Amino acid sequence: MRKAFMGARLLRLREERGLTQATLARMLELSPSYLNQIERNQRPLTVQVLLKINAVFGVDVQMFSEDEEARLIADLRDAFSESGTSVSLSEIKALTADMPVIGRALVALHRRARAGDERLEALAATLGTPLASLPPAPALMPYEEVRDFFYARHNHVSELDEAAEQLFLQARLEAGAVENGLERLLQDRHNIRIRLENEAGIGGQRHFDAASRVLRLSHSLTSGQRAFQMATQLAFLEHQPMLDRLVQSPLLTSPQSQALGRIGLANYYAGALLLPYSAFLAAAEELHYDIDLLGTRFGVGFETICHRLSTLQRSGTRGVPFFFVRVDRAGNISKRQSATDFHFSRVGGTCPLWNVYEAFTSPGRILTQMAQMPDGRTYLWVARTVTHNHGGYNAPGKTFAIGLGCDLRHAARLIYARGLDLGDPTAATPIGAGCKVCERPSCPQRAFPPLGRALLVDEQRSRFEPYAAT
């Protein structure tokens, strides 16, 4: 563990509990002077002290995580950059370390201000419609709220994970061949029959008719995909109260957000049922996180394996903390899930030097990349395209690039690190969080000038790098 100076957070925890410094020192079996030095950031917060805090207070040690701090830094950089306020990275880090609650409040205020701007734009578009007749604009779109809901949980929902694993064991399901077992479960426990039909007749890949007790699935689905749809339906049938309770979150502010949240949670349960936590983590470690071999063993596709790998954060038995992303050819990110602090900006798109976009030039081939962010943190990225088709000739399909990344300190556990010089900092590709917030002054691929910095405009000089800035 790197040295973590989290004195302000420990001080806040003590004040919230109404404890004196001497009392807390006694509870943690520390000397008062040592605790005083920790709170004043003169000594780091060690693993041993963290374990004592957890034992005494029962708080999640994630509260003191460096990754959690890095997430807030990224959100604040977005907020300040989008508002045009020039704040140095050192100032943002100081605010995050010493006053994290104020930092989160600033992020929330920024999002409310952005929602107000969107509301004014909507008003202008109505060409004079009175303000009172406009519906209130949400701070975030429903799908954004759901994304932030999973992000806040580090993409791990322990209640659903444990329930899915328990059912897998009770029903004696077989990894890689769960379709027949799930069909039997639906019939025996819920009197539901499976019927395979044409997707056009169903109106999608899955439709449950509660009146006739028939679950209609598209016959174009693979065995693993049919099993996933059955498991999703089981989540709604057996765990509806749990789903309803989980979506009662302040992050999900509308009925539509909560409905999308329930679907996301049911899909999470389905992945956890097909890929039960303990067995899947053991297989991932055994196979050095080889995505193709894991897909073969568990009978599911590349995207499903990557998504599940990004959820392995059970307390006490954690896997590699991954960041999972899905993008299309135009650069739109349709999925992003994170068990780590990696963050791409909401402002100004993502980075064209990221290998997830290069994957489209080599369809079906796995690409690897060591990529370094402007703050010096380096990641190992794995990327590959996936294609989904339905119908016959000339029927429209969809192609995405899937990216799976982790901090370089975990890379040695992955088969994809073989042959890479993980200790050579010059081997990493310099990338950024997004052009408008990226601090790299001489990037030849920059699409936008950096926010909050003056452009260098020289009529007598031509530069290779666009948008040179001070």
pLDDT of residue 91: 80
Q: What is the pLDDT of residue 228?
A: 96
All domains in the chain, ordered by first residue: 7-64 (1.10.260.40), 68-139 (no CATH), 158-274 (1.10.10), 323-430 (3.30.450)
Rounded Cα–Cα distance for residues 65 and 83 (Å): 28
- Provide the sign of the torsion angle of the four alpha carbons 194, 197, 203, 205, taken in this order: positive
- Residue type (1 letter), 369: Q
**Global model pTM greater than 0.75:** no
Whether the pLDDT of residue 348 is over 60: the answer is no
Least confident segment among 295-304, 374-383, 460-469: 460-469
Which of 168, 315, 335, 160 has the alpha carbon at shortest distance from 245?
160
Pairwise CA distance, residues 322 & 310, whole Å = 5
Of residues 151 and 395, more confidence is placed in 151
Residue 6: what pLDDT? 65
Length in residues, the chain: 470
pLDDT of residue 432: 80
Q: What is the mean pLDDT of residues 113-128?
A: 60
Assess whether pLDDT exceeds 60 at residue 4.
Answer: no
Exposed, middle or buried, 83 (CB in 10 Å: 0-12/13-18/19+)? middle
Name the one residue in this structure whose structure tokens are 């993008």.
Answer: 327
pLDDT given at position 467: 75
pLDDT tens for 239-272 read: 999 999 999 999 899 999 999 999 999 999 999 9
d(CA 67, CA 320): 13
What average pLDDT does range 400-409 have in this prediction? 94
Helix axes 89-98, 66-82, angle to 10 degrees: 130
Which residues contact residue 30 at a Cβ distance below 8 angstroms, ignoring those fewer than 6 apart?
38, 49, 52
* pLDDT score of 1: 42
Give pLDDT, residue 367: 96
Ranked by mean pLDDT, which of 127-136, 372-381, 400-409 comes out on top? 400-409
| Residue pLDDT, tens place only, 429-444 | 988 877 777 777 778 8
Q: Write the Ramachandran bin of 443: left for phi over 0, alpha for psi from -120 to 50, otherwise beta.
A: beta
The yes-or-no verdict on residue 465 having pLDDT over 90 is no
Contact 206, 225 (CB under 8 A): no
Describe the crossing of helices 291-298 and 302-309 by its angle, rounded to 10 degrees. Answer: 110
pLDDT at 434: 74
Angle at which helices 302-309 and 255-274 cross, to 10°: 100
Cα–Cα dist 36/332, whole Å: 48
DSSP result, 287-317: TTT-HHHHHHHHT--HHHHHHHHTT-EETTE
Q: Which residue has the higher pLDDT, 399 or 27?
A: 399
Task: State the Cα–Cα distance between residues 9 and 94, nearest whole angstrom.
Answer: 13
Residues 237, 242, 244, 249, CA torsion sign: negative
CA-to-CA separations, 193 to 84, 134, 188, 196, 217, in angstroms, rounded: 58, 46, 10, 10, 11
